[in-house]
Amino acid sequence: MTTRTEDLKEMKELVALLNRYADEYYNQDNPSVPDAEYDRLYRRLKELEKQYPEDVQPDSPTHRVGGSGKADLEKFEHKIPMLSLDNVFNDDELSDFVNRVAGGLSRDEREVEFCAEPKLDGLALSLIYQNGVLITAATRGNGRIGENVTAQAKTIKNIPLSLKGDRIPSYLEVRGEVFMLHKDFEAANEFFRKRDGVKAKLYANPRNAAAGALRQTDPAETAKRKLTFNAYFVTECVGVELPDTHYDRLMFAASLGLPVNREIKFGKGIAFLREYFADMQNRRMDLDYDIDGIVYKVNSTALWDVLGFVSRAPRFAIAHKFPAQEQITTLNAVDFQVGRTGAITPVARLEPVQVAGVTVSNATLHNVDEIERLGVKIHDRVVIRRAGDVIPQVMRVVTEARTGNEKDIVFPTCCPVCGSALERMPDEAVIRCTGGLSCKAQLKESICHFVSNKAMDIRGLGDRNIESMIDLGLINAVNDIYHLTLEDIKNVSQKTDDEPNDGDSVNADSVNAGDASSEDSVSGQTPDGTGMFDMFDMPASAEKKEAEKAAETAGDESGEENGTRRAKKAKIIGEKAAVKILASIDDSRTRPFNRFIYALGIREVGENTAMILAREFENIYELMSADTDRLLSIKDIGEVSARHIVNFFREKHNQIIIDDLLKSQLLGGSGVIPQKVKPDEADLERIKDNPFNHKTIVLTGTLASMKRDELKAILQGYGATVSGSVSAKTHLVIAGEAAGSKLDKAVKLGVQVMGEDELLKILGELESL
């Protein structure tokens, strides 16, 4: 229990903090905290104010609606105040709202009709038309007094300067949202990068960009940034009788030439609202603009007067906010994971935090360049963003929250698992362990990859079993899998989650290859596009699957029920499970050539490249002796992959492994590919079905997660042609930081532009297909 004095102190601090954040947000277009953080503090203040009404501070932000407006824009007094909306954050609160409305109208909730609309993430704008001509545009300001931005608004292409049709009101005020489409946001930042170089102050998100653009004192500056307007309210209309539903009023506005969002729908009761919310939440990532929730409005305008208003918001409407995509948390530590090809990936261990409905406790820091770019230290407060299924990213450091106790992140000087030297190739962002298969982490990852379901698809050999087999010396390379006996497998005791790992400072549990276990959770790619690491806490269903897998391998002798946590403690692989594993190993001897090549784990040889090679070469030895020129003569094999292929087969160690695999009767035993292991048609179909196949893609700018050459190889691996210049034939431009003129051209030509977030999301989805 806190004392009254403590509570009052907290109230005062909250007021000061929130006022500072509001100033950053409204007046400087440069917020230092995510909205969710503001909302959380605001709610806490409201809670305290409810408890101590007599102590509400005179300057509390709960008294006012917004910022005070920039001094240098002319003020405009709204005839009808521009109100705000109350928010709900979950289904219970939504249900309270609907019941309140139904109660206020003395109706059954199922009878009340609502209009549901996207809550556009920009800033409110009022437009006034006199005799069909736009005479004023004003921002909301504090709700009563806003800023006159008529000249600026006139630069927004989809705002009509005069209305069309034959039912033009003598006076009309509509309100709506000004926002920026994703592609225009990218282009706006690109404009600054070009103009101001490394010193460019970039907009953090499309909303800030929209606010910054509209509130430029020089309208010519506004015109340089492309804005979009959508009307969401007809406030006043003289000379034409308005329809009596909100929806029809918007349709009337649309008939006059005013842009209205196409997603707006109406329906009855909470069931409709829930369905609309779920649908929009699903499709949110496909929209080309940001929305931060849904707005519900009672459709019948006659009922608005019945319901009335509460302080600054109407009772007939509410905003249902999506779970915040950004949150602040503390970075507790950084671990260094070692991937299949030795890539060392720094992973931030975070104080667990809910972001967009998922608990996030890890986030990749990608590589040493990214750590430097972020300037992040251990114990820093950091902004974490997770949009949709995109893996969580550390966006920035909340430098204002620094206490002086933060510590630099020290990159290891040798491999954290095997102690070998590290190396960095000049054209790569990643630092690698040079230990090769003598590094346990790399060995384990390469075996996990070999047995994974898109490679040799050997069932029952989860990463814990593999780890134990390596520890027991049963497996030293992939070929050893085919020498395992029933006795060997039965003797394997699995590592359990409860056991401490072998004293490695690296988290052995998280050194997970793309095997079955990591497919269950949302995973991210390591910089070389090979290993996968878990970024989220495992969702409940995935945890169950994982446990079931453990139970399956533990077999009947463990005496454990098929269930959840208990099964994880199983130790010995039972006889029945061992027989199954052995049968699956046996079965894998006839996997097709394309899978065999993919399973070898050659760098930058994804499924597609493996398929191309399998269709090109009749004989494994022909492939093994192909030089770079021969490989480059094959359509869709790029330089990076060619170099890696040649290097891989040149290695004596790899030649011995392949010989031994053939002796174990893989590929028909002779290397000349017999019919039964010809490239698989079903695989071909599946591989072709990816968004990059047959696409001409241009890369521009710097990505945080990988170098351009690495991405090029990955995309080529998916069947894309990576080209150097943008033309009408370009299908897609992938734009990183400081993207150049190519992005401009893409925007001009209307070519699809994809940012790093979206790219990682798609790559992540493809990996876990």
Q: Specify the length of the chain in residues.
A: 769
Give me the least distance between CB of 201 and ligand IVH, in Å please. Answer: 24
d(CA 644, CA 65): 60
Residue 12 host element (H or E): helix 4-22
10 Å Cβ neighbour count for 188? 23
Residue whose entry in the numeric block shows the structure tokens 């300067």: 161
Question: 50, 119, 224, 748: which one is catalytic?
Answer: 119
Name the burial class of residue 639, with classes exposed (0-12), middle (13-18) and buried (19+) by CB atoms within 10 angstroms of its CB: middle
Give me the least distance between CB of 735 and ligand IVH, in Å please. Answer: 27
- Between residues 84 and 332, which has the closer beta carbon with respect to ligand IVH? 84
Across 300-339, the runs of DSSP E, i.e. the strands, are: 309-310, 313-314, 317-321, 326-338
- Between residues 172 and 343, which has the closer beta carbon with respect to ligand IVH? 172
Strands 317-321 and 358-364, by their bridges, are unpaired
Helix/strand/coil for 300 = strand
Give me the least distance between CB of 29 and ligand IVH, in Å please. Answer: 15
10 Å Cβ neighbour count for 766? 19
Residue whose entry in the numeric block shows the structure tokens 């003020």: 75
- Between residues 9 and 63, which has the closer beta carbon with respect to ligand IVH? 63
What residue type is assigned to position 641 of the chain? S
Give me the least distance between CB of 239 and ligand IVH, in Å please. Answer: 23
- Between residues 231 and 363, which has the closer beta carbon with respect to ligand IVH? 231
Give me the least distance between CB of 263 and ligand IVH, in Å please. Answer: 10
Residue of closest CB approach to ligand IVH: 124
Give me the least distance between CB of 262 and ligand IVH, in Å please. Answer: 12
Annotation says 119 is catalytic? yes
Give me the least distance between CB of 86 and ligand IVH, in Å please. Answer: 8
Residue whose entry in the numeric block shows the structure tokens 């997603």: 263
The structure tokens listed for 669 are 């035993």
d(CA 751, CA 186): 13
- Between residues 83 and 350, which has the closer beta carbon with respect to ligand IVH? 83
10 Å Cβ neighbour count for 438? 13
d(CA 391, CA 736): 17
Which of these, 261, 325, 267, lies nearest to 118 by C-alpha position? 261
- Between residues 317 and 492, which has the closer beta carbon with respect to ligand IVH? 317
- Phi, psi of 648, deg, nearest 5: -65, -50
- Between residues 120 and 492, which has the closer beta carbon with respect to ligand IVH? 120
CB 293 within 8 A of CB 286: no
Give me the least distance between CB of 748 and ligand IVH, in Å please. Answer: 29
Give me the least distance between CB of 176 and ligand IVH, in Å please. Answer: 8
- Between residues 26 and 617, which has the closer beta carbon with respect to ligand IVH? 26
The structure tokens listed for 198 are 């490394």
Please, how many CA atoms are within 13 Å of residue 602, restricted to the half-sphere of its CB?
A: 31
- Between residues 65 and 437, which has the closer beta carbon with respect to ligand IVH? 65
What's 115-159 look like in SS3? EEEEEECCEEEEEEEECCEEEEEEECCCCCEEEECHHHHCCCCCC
d(CA 159, CA 150): 11
- Binding region for ligand IVH (CB under 6 A): 83-85, 117, 119-120, 124, 177, 232-233, 295, 314, 317, 319
Strands 87-88 and 317-321, by their bridges, are parallel
Residues carrying an active site annotation = 119
